[in-house]
Amino acid sequence: METGEQKKNIVREKYSEIAQQDKHTNESSCCGSGCCSNEVYNIMSDDYSTLDGYNPDADLGLGCGLPTQFAKITKGDIVVDLGSGAGNDCFVARAETGESGKVIGVDFTPVMIQKARVNADKLKFRNVEFRLGDIEDIPVDSESADVVISNCVLNLVPNKLQAFKEVFRILKPGGHFSISDVVTVGDIPTSIRSSAEFYVGCIAGAIQKDVYLEIIGLNGFHNITIQKEKIIALPDDILVSNFTDAEINAFRNSGAGIFSVTVYGEKPSAACCDSNCCK
């Protein structure tokens, strides 16, 4: 079994490759993982093209939701995007914060950071910054962010409890997050869990939805809400190429499933003093 660092290295190496792929290639796979399907596109990603701030050069088709659509970003906010990739969500968030706000993108893949900075320079944005860093140790000051967003990234982080601890740390009292992610319901076959391609593709790194929500609550967040939920239907050709007929039938009849969820949570204000929020 891989250690946390080994898993991170797998993800970092794969996303370095993904950064060089075109959007069409990424959309035809599970978050750009390379397990290509001939049947459908956009297995997980949603359409950004109608949102203010959208820039096609920054859209690699790697998301599983539209967290900025639900993030309640207002003018002047400081927004942190975890796993910012080529900058897509950052540029959409900037349209919400305006010139008076600031957006900080964090990614641990150097090639992605370089790509995002080139995109920001092309757009002449001076209030969008990209920092190389690990989500388990976010390079952002404590209590400095109004909003945290992330799109199909925290499922790839080995220590999710630590990741949400860091989200809590960097948010200002009263701040909030809106995070799109992949979760599971029921038992997912071991063969999916053990595949590195599926891990990078956002599935094998996912955890049970109730455990995911429990982790958020354990870190002191309040008003935890699922803002959007949709089932992710894996195309037949992906299943056939990776699993036996018996495994496929067992999976389909089990009631288990893979879902994209957008989750909202708030860090209590300084006035809060019950035992669950004063941390």
**Over the chain, what is the mean pLDDT?**
83
Task: Give the pLDDT confidence of 70-107 residue by residue, as tens digits.
Answer: 999 999 999 999 999 999 999 999 999 999 999 999 99
| Predicted local confidence at residue 19, as pLDDT | 57
pLDDT over threshold 90, residue 45: no
- Bigger pLDDT: 84 or 56? 84
Domain ranges within the chain, ordered by starting residue? 4-263
Superfamily, domain 4-263:
Vaccinia Virus protein VP39 (3.40.50.150)
Confidence bin at 35 (pLDDT 50/70/90): very low
Task: Give the pLDDT confidence of 3-20 residue by residue, as tens digits.
Answer: 777 667 666 766 666 656
Among 5-9, 14-18, 232-236, 260-264, the range scoring the smallest mean pLDDT is: 14-18
Residue 171 and residue 268 in contact, taking contact as beta carbons nearer than 8 Å: no
Kindly report the length of the chain.
Answer: 279
All residues at 6 or more sequence positions from 113 whose CB lies less than 8 Å from its CB, including other chains: 105, 107, 130, 131, 132
Q: Is the dihedral angle over the CA atoms 23, 25, 27, 30 positive or is it negative?
A: negative
| Predicted local confidence at residue 163, as pLDDT | 97
Distance between CA 25 and CA 219 in Å, rounded? 37
